[in-house]
Amino acid sequence: MLTSEIVARIMPATVLQYTQHYLVQHLLTDSRKILHPAGSIFFAIKGAFHNGHTYIPALYAKGIRQFILEDITYIPEVKSVGDLNTYFPEANFWQVDSSLRALQQVVAYHRSRFTLPVIGITGSNGKTIVKEWLAQLLSPDELVCKSPRSYNSQIGVPLSVWQLNENHTLGIFEAGISRPAEMEYLRPIIQPAYGIFTNIGSAHDEGFTSRQEKVAEKLKLFNEVKLLFYCRDHTDIHAAVLTQRLPAFTWSRHQPADLQIINLRVSGGQANITFRFAGQEQALLLPYADEASIENIIHCLAVLLWRQVPVEEIQQRLNKLSPVAMRLEMKEAINNCYLIDDTYNNDLAGLAIALNLLLHQPRQGKKTLILSDVLQSGLSEEILYSRVAEVVKAKQIDRLIGIGPTISRFREAFGPGSEFYPDTAEFLKAFKPENFRNETILVKGARVFQFEKIVAAFQRKVHGTVLEVNLDALVHNLNYYRAKLQPETKIMVMVKAFAYGSGSYEIANLLQFHRVDYLAVAYTDEGVHLRENGISLPIMVMNPSPDSFAKIQQYHLEPEIYSLEILAACLESLENQPLNIHLKLDTGMHRLGFTPDDLVTVIGWLKAAPQLHVISTFSHLAGADEALHNEFSQKQIEQFREMAAQLEAGLGYPVLKHILNSAGIVRFPEHQLNMVRLGIGLYGVESAGQEQEGLRTVGTLKTTISQVKEVPAGDTVGYSRRGVASAAKKIATIAIGYADGYDRRFGNGVGQVLVNGQPAPIIGNVCMDMCMVDVTGLKVNVGDTVEIFGEHVNIIRLAQSIGTIPYELLTNVSARVKRIFYAE
Ligand SMILES: *Cc1c(COP(=O)(O)O)cnc(C)c1O
């Protein structure tokens, strides 16, 4: 599109500087996601945590030449319009009231140039799955343009719809809202001719006073649709659709409807349904058996039946329906390689997202991309593969392995070091593990290529116990606490003890990406490990040993100085070299820290050693997690303020002051001072016990069943014969024991695990590498997944059941348990 065409859509836009004409092909909102500097226009959006304007100088340096912004004074160094020419002589700048609205207007215009039918999807759950499944089911008939992953926000929707081109025959886009009045901005961008309203959850999203209000707001997406598909058993939705007299296609499991499900029977992981449609009774076998999947499939079925796809044909397409692996996983692989597993789909937008992730891995070593043919782009093959090649080149991929007949045909477009295989089987035949070492490998393939086989070949063989870490949940929790902070309050995140058991540099890298201010670890080695894996944020070391100061200096770590002895050791080992330090004050915890009596001496020593620069001073609350200790906490805070003031006055320069941990942030938000130290809250446990519902679960510990057996009445199970079968029992042996961090105190019925979603108690003692659970009456098989804690088993209650705290359960998960990181 022409820039002038774009700018004409944004009302009103003021031209601040116009130097020359550039074409616009790519819309950019996130400074970390540049793929094609030439042809990009950057919308500087000011959000709650990031202000896009601050990245303009860096973007300019990378070749971006067009900017839509709100206020030039947010750009570092820029004071007046005249400065734009000084710092950015080749760029165009337009000023608008809201860069976000400008972005939306541009894409609404782009959308209006196409006449193809678009299906809009909203609802509380299932949007992404319905979108993906519907696209799969319609792919034999249509060339579908759809939202990448769950791009359904105020920014995600415009970026999705921007992909539309002349060749697409159908658009399927999802829209999600969390506040009133958001949908009216999304409707003109999607302009749906058809709608699917998946369902409505009972939780009130932030900002909605009632469920009715939420339904009404979501329905605004469909004001002008020709037909709205929904399940009329969701009574709130049905009532609102009737009131608004929207043209509807309903389905129901209990009442007459356009599509009426007469019978539904679940067995062996499948669901048999009988239904009545257009006066005829017919049957289908759905390849899933859980409630949510069944609902999602029936939404799709409604659309297919309405489109008059014959039932036999629908059955054939359903048989091929593959699970929507919504997650992109990251995991360790052979020969110190690290794998980003995105074997979920392979379209251009998804490729760009995954490549950005690859690029932001801080690890040293080669970056390798294993890529299948790109499907469903709507572009001619020549243009498509020249774009793919351009992206691969721009992202400085060291090694490309192309798999598939089409990408192989375009091998000339890629660099000389690239390898090509006609299919996955040929690649696996040629695969030699020793050819991959210390690489970060992105495996990205359309599902027909079955790249999961490649992933399996790369993965280290480990036993079936894994800790799955949900990176989106972690970011949600980070933002939950951030929302409580004053804009100027900094945030230090505690990543000690392998980030509370969740990982180490993977978590640190994500936090760096999300621009926290500081990290803290317990020991020097933990800090060194982060540095060696590319973490550049400032890192405080809380317990530096006297012999580790040389390393601290070498790796630019910042020690916590808590006693005169450790200060002496620091001065002695560093002589006159400069170092940033943090001073810990003891205000009642009585663990580490200077007491009030030490202060005069400390100040004296530090004045004599100006090479040591005090960055911050802090103290720790002993009882922030319990209201019982509020008065004591207040006293600690008061004493800290006094001691810190004395210190600052003595040093003669300002230092950051901080005292709140996770519970403290919730309980004493008025004492944020200059920084807070977030720990357990990031990992999903609200330790003040007041706002748990605001956080999401981050870690889920899972294992598998190794064997299932029938034990006759009177026999015993496990060591010391402690598990007694009072009656005939079915017992499953699971692959986790105390050496994995599953506490022995969970033995003999104290602990419960979840087998295929069903609770089962531990029987007998927990062994070192396994334990046994009572699965009498449950449907279980060898290989089934067992959840120990996480998404469905509450870690707080689990900890209470053995008289400990979630901190201990999290950090006890042993090193041999593989961590899998995923994003939704
Ligand atoms: C671990 C730690 C924290 C974080 O505590 P949480 O309860 O996990 O939030 C904060 N400050 C210090 C000094 C710590 O050791």
pLDDT category of residue 223 using cuts at 50, 70 and 90: very high
Report if residue 423 sits inside a domain: yes
Contact in structure between 599 and 617 (CB atoms under 8 Å): no
pLDDT category of residue 576 using cuts at 50, 70 and 90: confident
Q: Which DSSP symbol is given to 505? A: H
Of 379 and 67, more confident = 67
pTM of the entire structure?
0.72
CA 293 / ligand 1 centre spacing (Å): 41
CATH number at residue 583: 3.20.20.10
**Annotated binding site for substrate: which residue ranges?**
591, 768
Q: What was the pLDDT predicted at 500?
A: 96
CA 547 / ligand 1 centre spacing (Å): 24
- Answer yes or no: do 440 and 475 share one domain: no
Question: How far, CA to CA in Å, does 100 sit from each of 60, 107, 449?
Answer: 20, 11, 38
- Answer yes or no: do 744 and 796 share one domain: yes
pLDDT category of residue 517 using cuts at 50, 70 and 90: very high
Residue having the nearest C-alpha atom to atom 10 of ligand 1: 661
Question: What's at 337, amino acid-wise?
Answer: C
CATH number at residue 227: 3.40.1190.10
pLDDT category of residue 463 using cuts at 50, 70 and 90: low
Single residue among 398, 433, 461 that ends a domain in this structure: 461
- Answer yes or no: do 290 and 420 share one domain: no
Of 507, 620, 672, 678, best ligand 1 pocket probe by most atoms within 8 Å of the beta carbon: 620
Mean pLDDT of 641-665: 97
Of 481, 494, 637, best ligand 1 pocket probe by most atoms within 8 Å of the beta carbon: 494
Nearest to 784 by CA among 820, 754, 759, 756: 756
Q: What was the pLDDT predicted at 378?
A: 73
Question: What 3-state class would DSSP assign to 584?
Answer: strand
Kindly list the protein residues whose Cβ atom lies closer than 6 A to any atom of ligand 1: 494, 542, 620, 661-663, 677, 679-681, 687
Give percent of the chain above pLDDT 90.
73
Nearest to 680 by CA among 800, 588, 808: 808
CA 212 / ligand 1 centre spacing (Å): 42
Task: State the catalytic residue, choosing from 393, 709, 719, 779.
Answer: 719
Phi and psi at residue 712, in whole multiples of 5°? Answer: -70, 155
Report if residue 603 sits inside a domain: yes
Nearest-atom index, ligand 1, CA of 678:
9
Contact in structure between 56 and 75 (CB atoms under 8 Å): yes
- Answer yes or no: do 411 and 550 share one domain: no
Nearest-atom index, ligand 1, CA of 681:
9
Single residue among 293, 319, 345 that ends a domain in this structure: 319
pLDDT category of residue 460 using cuts at 50, 70 and 90: low
CA 494 / ligand 1 centre spacing (Å): 7
- Answer yes or no: do 737 and 819 share one domain: yes
- Answer yes or no: do 165 and 277 share one domain: yes
Report if residue 758 sits inside a domain: yes
Task: State the catalytic residue, choosing from 444, 496, 702, 729.
Answer: 496
Alpha-carbon distance of 28 to 464, in angstroms, equals 41
Mean pLDDT of 774-799: 93
- Answer yes or no: do 582 and 560 share one domain: yes
CATH number at residue 446: 3.90.190.20
**Burial class of residue 522 (count of CB atoms within 10 Å of its CB; 0-12, 13-18, 19+):** middle
46 is catalytic: no
Of 584, 659, 677, 685, best ligand 1 pocket probe by most atoms within 8 Å of the beta carbon: 677
CATH number at residue 44: 3.40.1390.10
Is the pLDDT at 202 greater than 70? The verdict is no
Strand order across the 259-267 sheet: 144-146, 170-174, 118-122, 194-197, 227-231, 248-252, 259-267, 270-277, 280-286
Strand order across the 14-17 sheet: 14-17, 92-95, 66-69, 40-43, 26-28
Q: What was the pLDDT predicted at 579?
A: 96
Is the pLDDT at 593 greater than 80? The verdict is yes
Residue having the nearest C-alpha atom to atom 12 of ligand 1: 620
Is the pLDDT at 532 greater than 90? The verdict is no
Give percent of the chain above pLDDT 70.
97
Is the pLDDT at 344 greater than 80? The verdict is no
Nearest-atom index, ligand 1, CA of 496:
1
Residue having the nearest C-alpha atom to atom 4 of ligand 1: 679
pLDDT tens per residue across span 104-161:
999 999 999 999 999 999 998 889 999 999 999 998 999 999 988 788 999 999 999 9
Single residue among 285, 319, 353 that ends a domain in this structure: 319
Contact in structure between 621 and 639 (CB atoms under 8 Å): no
CATH number at residue 763: 2.40.37.10
Report if residue 109 sits inside a domain: no
pLDDT tens per residue across span 724-751:
999 999 999 999 999 999 999 999 999 9
- Answer yes or no: do 248 and 362 share one domain: no
Nearest-atom index, ligand 1, CA of 584:
13
Contact in structure between 650 and 599 (CB atoms under 8 Å): yes
pLDDT category of residue 2 using cuts at 50, 70 and 90: low
Structure tokens at 735: 């692959």
- Answer yes or no: do 175 and 283 share one domain: yes
pLDDT category of residue 703 using cuts at 50, 70 and 90: very high
Determine which helix (DSSP H) or strand (DSSP E) holds 753, and give its type and residue range.
strand 752-755
Determine which helix (DSSP H) or strand (DSSP E) holds 194, and give its type and residue range.
strand 194-197
Question: How far, CA to CA in Å, does 655 sit from each of 244, 510, 644, 673, 675?
Answer: 60, 27, 9, 11, 11
Q: Is 475 left (phi over 0), alpha (psi -120 to 50) or beta?
A: alpha
- Answer yes or no: do 401 and 494 share one domain: no
Alpha-carbon distance of 704 to 782, in angstroms, equals 8
Structure tokens at 223: 């004001």
pLDDT category of residue 411 using cuts at 50, 70 and 90: very high
- Answer yes or no: do 614 and 736 share one domain: no
719 is catalytic: yes
Q: What is the mean pLDDT of the chain?
A: 91
Q: What was the pLDDT predicted at 506?
A: 87
CA 661 / ligand 1 centre spacing (Å): 5
Question: What 3-state class would DSSP assign to 557?
Answer: coil
CA 520 / ligand 1 centre spacing (Å): 9
**Annotated binding site: which residue ranges?**
591, 768
Q: What is the extent of the structural domain holding 724?
A: 699-823
Question: What's at 639, amino acid-wise?
Answer: Q
pLDDT category of residue 206 using cuts at 50, 70 and 90: low
Q: How many domains does the chain have?
A: 5
- Answer yes or no: do 42 and 188 share one domain: no
